[in-house]
Amino acid sequence: MATSEPRAAGGEQDPNSANLRPPTTRFLQKNNSLEEKGRLAGQKNLLSCDNSDRDARFRRTETDFSNLFARDLLPAKNGEEPTMQFLLEVVDILTNYVKKTFDRSTKVLDFHHPHQLLEGIEGFNLELSDQPESLEQILVDCRDTLKYGVRTGHPRFFNQLSSGLDIIGLAGEWLTSTANTNMFTYEIAPVFVLMEQLTLKKMREMIGWPNGEGDGLFSPGGAISNMYSVMIARYKYFPEVKTKGMSAAPRLVLFTSEHSHYSIKKAGAALGFGTDNVILLSTDERGRVIPADLEAKILDAKQKVRVFFPFYFFNIIASPCTFISNHISFHLSWVLHLQGYVPLFVNATAGSTVYGAFDPINEIADICEKYNLWLHVDGAWGGGLLMSRKHRHKLNGIERANSVTWNPHKMMGVPLQCSAILVREKGILAGCNSMCAGYLFQPDKQYDVTYDTGDKAIQCGRHVDIFKFWLMWKAKGTTGFEQHIDKCLDLSQYLYNKIKNREGYEMVFDGVPQHTNVCFWYIPPSLRGMPDGDERREKLHRVAPKIKAMMMESGTTMVGYQPQGNKVNFFRMVVSNPSVTQSDIDFLIDEIERLAHDL
Amino acid sequence: MATSEPRAAGGEQDPNSANLRPPTTRFLQKNNSLEEKGRLAGQKNLLSCDNSDRDARFRRTETDFSNLFARDLLPAKNGEEPTMQFLLEVVDILTNYVKKTFDRSTKVLDFHHPHQLLEGIEGFNLELSDQPESLEQILVDCRDTLKYGVRTGHPRFFNQLSSGLDIIGLAGEWLTSTANTNMFTYEIAPVFVLMEQLTLKKMREMIGWPNGEGDGLFSPGGAISNMYSVMIARYKYFPEVKTKGMSAAPRLVLFTSEHSHYSIKKAGAALGFGTDNVILLSTDERGRVIPADLEAKILDAKQKVRVFFPFYFFNIIASPCTFISNHISFHLSWVLHLQGYVPLFVNATAGSTVYGAFDPINEIADICEKYNLWLHVDGAWGGGLLMSRKHRHKLNGIERANSVTWNPHKMMGVPLQCSAILVREKGILAGCNSMCAGYLFQPDKQYDVTYDTGDKAIQCGRHVDIFKFWLMWKAKGTTGFEQHIDKCLDLSQYLYNKIKNREGYEMVFDGVPQHTNVCFWYIPPSLRGMPDGDERREKLHRVAPKIKAMMMESGTTMVGYQPQGNKVNFFRMVVSNPSVTQSDIDFLIDEIERLAHDL
């Protein structure tokens, strides 16, 4: 066995002198004896503090951080103790924050305007400098960062589709950060890559694709997941676009609801379709796509022939030469066929952003089958309902989709970010995106390289978004997610029942909400007698922003508002945080009435 | 002042009964009195453990997690104590892992094949189930996840451009996870949005743009940052593509080095240019673009006219009717002008992935100016050298770029992910990507909404990648990053000097490396006498994969290999982790020789 001692490393920081050398170079040597011992010992003692060595090592001690700097932490010589003390001090700040997040006697936020924070409130200086700050200052900066932020996990934060602070998910993120690796190869993320694969399969099973077959990836958010769906649809029907560009395809058209997320239009712009070629579909009063409108617009697009060449009419009309004219007509009609509009892709939304509407997937799927179009279901917000036996019927037909976006970071309370793009056809993601970079995806590795995921993605490096979700699923079980979802939907129904006939409230649409979205106007006393008309509309339009500003400034709660179509600003209440109780819903209503009383 | 008590919430989990109500609804009420008290107390006692209340609360106690489940944690009634104990137990696992990461007596990895991990090694079961697992099992899962992963922070992990485990950055990520918010609006990420703005300005100053003016975003990785650069270049020259699609533009051509990162081609495919229209530039023996080749290929593209219409020749040749023919020719030439190739964008790489080459930016910028092309600098890997007075000259000319990619998660050791796209022209990012979604980017908010960033991005939700970087910059100062970078470059020069004339080594290119990339073949004794030729090449091609497999299976170190052009598999050594010492470089060389001795 070859051995070597570490060479002298003059003037360098104290490297550990031990060199691990296995006794033989066996293939598949399973156990790292040092680690293995630690692990077994750890398992035995994992749940107690009687491992005196470990306990002693990580007990917080009084440490003066004012004379310590980043350079004193690991890998510095003798850096272990300050490193552990610093990390434990940070954890103390974080656990205090976690505790307060769940405490209704704390504010949701401590609002300041940008210029105020930039000026440096109470010494909180955001500017960067050439010289290092002490660890004491770094700890103060951590506290201040949290202090002036927004407690998105607070039970009275209703502002976003993502809310709550799941403790298991949080622990998962802390571990992910510590592992600090990258999803692109099995080589450097073996466990995470497998977790992703198994979790995506489970999600595909819940969608209803046979045996959970198919493909998928976690991507940095629902907008990117939706962008993937458009890319792979294009690749499926016009694979030559990958090499030749959009000019190799006819004019392609995408269809999506006027209530759908703007990311479909954004994908249309980015991928070279153009937003004009993203056709918006009309919806019913609840914000659901009207299938007949989809079919009409498909037919309309197919019939529409874009006159691309200014000489076309000129030739047809002016040509005195029949022979040439006929030939030109023949060829031009071929060209024009290419230049016509070709319907490619339909997005059905399962849980729209504002109304929480579920498009009728089965009826849309019938139309997609009839016209041979790609069906994508954007379940970024509503996908979570697949976990609930009570509510999953709202996504009936999703098993007929070619691709699905589903963000566990929304309705399922997984920490940000966690968004999946799921694809029914295996191999198409890689076909669409692979570039076969030799330095990452070597075909001659010793393991089964089909587990490498990087060539399926539009990213190169890809953050580990899976672990927190996997760990939450382990810890809660499918049934835990189901309870979470059912509870949130019950709460929104509670809100709906509470305000639907209450004085001063008008619902934006009638009927029990499909998702947790409850959309309503609060009508302050001064507007209640006013006849409908422009003046009332203008005044009402200003009510929600004013209430919202007061909410933020008093820091008691947060809820979103927006206009939609011809409807002036209204509140969109959503619940995705299982910490919320009926009393928090009551609080919101009381707070709106308190703040808006004199408007 | 209106008050209200919480309503009865029958059958629900114990909400905290306290309702925070400010005494008045003042605008800009700055201080949350409860929090403020805590903060001041915290500041006083921050750095000691004499705050007995806090210390008692968070002291680890013996907790039996085998009968506890996720549902027993917050927001459960009496959930605070188990929550804190669980989080502290997780932190214990993580701090142990951190400690071992820096310990050279531990392995870099404990390799297993996918099928082995899937079968469930030693009870590590990756499958998800309907029923919850106990917190004890969750803790074991956390340990196992780390055990079977790869220690990317280990001083002998050289496999990726991103390596190391920065303690401040790690603390920053833990805080980011705990804050669990989203970068799209100032409303819910006020501090992080401002940190991003200030940090991007600082980065633009280092690039050399006047007063650090311009724009930018942190994006999910260098590939997406590069994609942004192509999108905004297209928008700058052909803004109508956003609405009309690629058919509104002529055939656009992108130029990038044959050694550049594959993400430029990937962007070409995704955005509808087509990979055929991504022209690869020849490089010198060091992997740097040859400017003359760029100019030749620009001219070539401009002269190339793509004959798109089959009837073109037909008409010109066959038309017996001069009048018509002339008109057709006139119009066709106009159409053909539109359909010709138009050079749009040049990517210059600052630090190529394999060779670490820096393209000559100034010479490329001259050509871009001459032909009015967008110049992007992909400094994902090399951008960090801007922090070093000794090495920043390698990026001379970067101030002439229109856009720059710079990944602090690579050379600057920031935890994954942290990648910036920086743009010289203000407003163009928003122009390119804005969709003005009313429910997020309300123009009638009470604060200055120009601070909202979401409409600049192709994402909707965007992970907080800034905080860890900002915190590291605070803690290390610019000078700390400079030392980090200079040290890593010194180490690669040490390696180069050590092996350039050593028996059994051949350098892939001559001369001192520009970046930390050192590319070499190890020639096992059995190949040393063999004459150059196909047989030797084939055998040599198999050497690096074999050594790499043995490294991974013994777990002692990891380094990347790949072929490049006509060069068979060679090792690419990189150093970005400041924990590395000369002894680790020595170890790598010894290890290669030990493992490859009998090949």
Query: What DSSP letter does each residue of B335-348 carry, written as one string?
Result: HHHHHSEEEEEEEE
Q: Which sign does the torsion angle of CA A391, A198, B146, A33 carry?
A: positive
- pLDDT for B324 beyond 70: no
Instruction: Please check whether residue A120 touches B, CB under 8 A.
Output: no
B254, closest residue in chain A (CA to CA): A245
A vs B, Cβ pairs < 8 A, gives 803
Last residue of a domain, one of B151, B178, B213: B151
- Kindly state whether residue B45 falls inside one of the protein's structural domains: no
A151: closest chain B residue by CA: B179
Strand partners, B289: B283
Query: Is the minimum CB–CB distance between B333 and chain A shorter than 8 Å?
Result: no
Which of A374, A377, A419, A414 lies closest to A395, judged by CA? A377
CATH number of the domain bearing residue B113: 3.90.1150.170
For residues A333 and B106, what is the distance between their CA atoms, to the nearest angstrom? Answer: 71
Which range has the top average pLDDT, A436-440, B280-284, B324-328?
B280-284
Count of structural domains, chain A: 1
B269 and B348 share a domain? yes
Write the pLDDT tens digit of every residue in A495-531.
Answer: 999 999 999 999 999 999 999 999 999 999 999 999 9
What is the band of B526 on the pLDDT scale with cuts at 50, 70, 90?
very high
Are B136 and A47 spatial neighbours (Cβ–Cβ below 8 Å)?
Answer: yes
Contact B160, B560 (CB under 8 A): yes
- What's the average model confidence in pLDDT over B443-469? 95
- Give the number of other Cβ atoms within 10 Å of residue A67's Cβ: 10
Q: Is B252 helix (H, G, I), strand (E, B) or coil?
A: strand
A223–B459: do the CB atoms touch at under 8 Å? Answer: yes
Domain range enclosing B562? 477-596
Cβ atoms of residues A112 and B30 within 8 Å: yes
Separation in Å, CA B220 to CA A460, B35, B41, B203, B357: 9, 34, 38, 17, 24
Q: From edge to edge, which strands make up the β-sheet containing B419-423?
A: B215-219, B419-423, B403-406, B374-379, B341-349, B251-257, B278-281
pLDDT tens across B14-53, in order? Answer: 444 444 444 333 333 333 333 333 333 333 333 232 333 3
- Tell me what pLDDT residue A58 has: 61
Question: CB–CB of A149 and B112 under 8 A?
Answer: no
A440 to chain B, closest Cα gap in Å: 8
CB contact under 8 A, B99 and A86: no
Of B90, B118, B151, which closes a domain? B151
Q: Does A313 touch chain B (CB under 8 A)?
A: no
Query: Is residue B554 less than 8 Å (CB to CB) from chain A?
Result: yes
Write out the E strands in B61-219.
157-158, 215-219
Of the CA atoms within 13 Å of residue B320, those in its CB half-sphere come to 6
Q: B554 and A25: CB-CB below 8 Å?
A: yes
Between A79, A138, A461, which is nearest B221 by CB?
A: A461
Q: Tell me the chain A residues in contact with residue B26 when contact means C-beta distances shorter than 8 Å.
A: 553
- C-beta of residue B35 within 8 angstroms of C-beta of residue A106: yes
Residue A158 tokens read as 């209703």
Give tens-digit pLDDT for A21-48: 443 333 333 333 333 333 333 333 332 3
Provide, rounded to the nearest whole percent, the portion of chain A with pLDDT above 70.
84
CB burial readout A335-373, b (16+ within 10 A) else e: bbeebbbbbbbbbbbbbbbbbbbbbbbebbbebbeeeeb
Asked whether the beta carbons of residue B416 and residue A562 sit closer than 8 angstroms, the reply is no
For tokens 């040490």, name the residue: B494
Look at residue B65 and tell me if it is in a domain.
yes
DSSP letter (8 states) at residue A360: -
Tell me, yes or no, whether B277 and B425 share the same domain.
yes
Those of residues 404-463 in A touching chain B at CB distance below 8 A are 409, 415-417, 419, 432-433, 435, 437-440, 442, 444-448, 451, 458-463
Closest residue of chain A to B224, computed from CA coordinates: A459
Q: Looking at the structure, tell me whether residues B430 and B481 fall in a common domain.
A: no
Contact A266 B321 (CB under 8 A): no
CA distance B364 to B295: 9
**Residue A153 touches partner B, C-beta closer than 8 Å:** yes
- Residue in chain B lying closest to A481 (CA): B130
Shared domain for B259 and B131, answered yes or no, is no
A497 touches chain B (CB under 8 A): no
Q: Does B162 touch chain A (CB under 8 A)?
A: yes
Mean pLDDT of chain A: 88
pLDDT in tens, A49-63: 233 334 444 677 889
Three-class secondary structure of residue B219 per DSSP: strand
Interface list for A 70-109 with B (CB within 8 A): 70-71, 73-75, 79-80, 83-84, 86-100, 102-107
Q: Examine the pLDDT at A245 and tell me if it is beyond 70.
A: yes
Residue A340's pLDDT is: 66
> Which letter does DSSP use for residue A574 in this model?
-
Best residue in A69, A178, A332, A572 to probe B by mutation, most B CBs within 10 Å? A178
Quick one: B429 and B488 in the same domain? Answer: no
Which residues of chain A have a CB within 8 Å of the CB of B135?
Answer: 475
Selected residues 508-537 of chain B with any CB under 8 Å from a CB in chain A: none
Q: Is A283 helix (H, G, I), strand (E, B) or coil?
A: strand
* Residue of A155, A180, A480 with shortest CB distance to B132: A480
Give the A window 202-261 contacts with B, CB below 8 Å. 202, 220-224, 227, 231, 241-248, 251, 261
Q: What is the pLDDT of residue B314?
A: 38
Q: Domain check: are B207 and B349 in the same one?
A: yes
Give chain B's mean pLDDT. Answer: 88
Judged by a CB distance cut-off of 8 A, whether residue B317 touches chain A is no
Q: According to the model, what pLDDT value does residue B577 have?
A: 98
- Give domain status of residue A581, yes or no: no
- Minimum Cα–Cα distance from B195: chain A residue: A126
The tokens describing A10, both together, are 């003059």
Q: Is residue B5 part of a domain?
A: no
- Indicate whether B92 and B219 sit together in one domain: no
pLDDT digits (tens, 9 = 90+) for A303-315: 886 544 433 333 3
Predicted confidence at residue B340, as pLDDT, reads 65
Q: Going by C-beta distance under 8 Å and a sequence separation of 6 or more, which residues neighbour residue B11?
A: none
B329: in domain: no
* Contact across the interface for B245 and A273, Cβ inside 8 Å: yes
CB < 8 Å to A342, chain B: none
pLDDT at B335 (0 to 100):
45
CB contact under 8 A, A479 and B545: no
CATH code where residue B244 lies: 3.40.640.10
Instruction: Decide if B595 touches A, using CB distance below 8 A.
Output: yes
Q: Of the ranges A330-334, B78-82, B532-536, which one carries the lowest mean pLDDT score? A: A330-334
Q: A531 CA to chain B: closest CA distance, Å?
A: 24
Is A599 near chain B, with CB under 8 Å? no
DSSP code, position A102: T
Whose CA is closest to B46, among A438, A504, A147?
A147
Report pLDDT digits (tens) over A135-144: 999 999 999 9
Give CA angle at A183 (B379, B109), nearest 5°: 105
pLDDT tens profile A327-371:
443 444 344 444 569 999 999 999 999 999 999 999 999 999 999
- If asked whether residues B412 and B482 sit together in one domain, one would say no
Half-sphere exposure at residue A328, Cβ-oriented, CA atoms within 13 angstroms: 28
Q: Are residues B374 and B491 in the same domain?
A: no
**Cβ contact (<8 Å) for B446 and A247?**
no
Give yes or no: residues B262 and B347 share one domain.
Answer: yes
B316 touches A: beta carbon within 8 Å: no
Same domain, B409 and B269: yes
Q: What is the pLDDT of residues A358-406, one digit of tens each?
A: 999 999 999 999 999 999 999 999 999 999 999 999 999 999 999 999 9
Buried b / exposed e over A424-445, threshold 16 CB at 10 Å, is beeebbbbbbbbebbebbbebb
Q: Give the pLDDT band (50/70/90) at residue B57.
A: very low
Searching chain A, which residue's CA lies closest to the CA of residue B594?
A2
Does B544 map to a domain?
A: yes
Which pLDDT value is given to residue B442? 84
Residue A79, domain member (yes or no): yes
Cα–Cα distance for residue pair B47/A138, rounded to 1 Å = 11
How would DSSP label each residue in B17-56? ------SS--TT----HHHHHHHHHHHHHTTSS--HHHHH
Does the CB of A68 have a partner CB in chain B at under 8 Å?
no
Domain presence at residue A144 = no
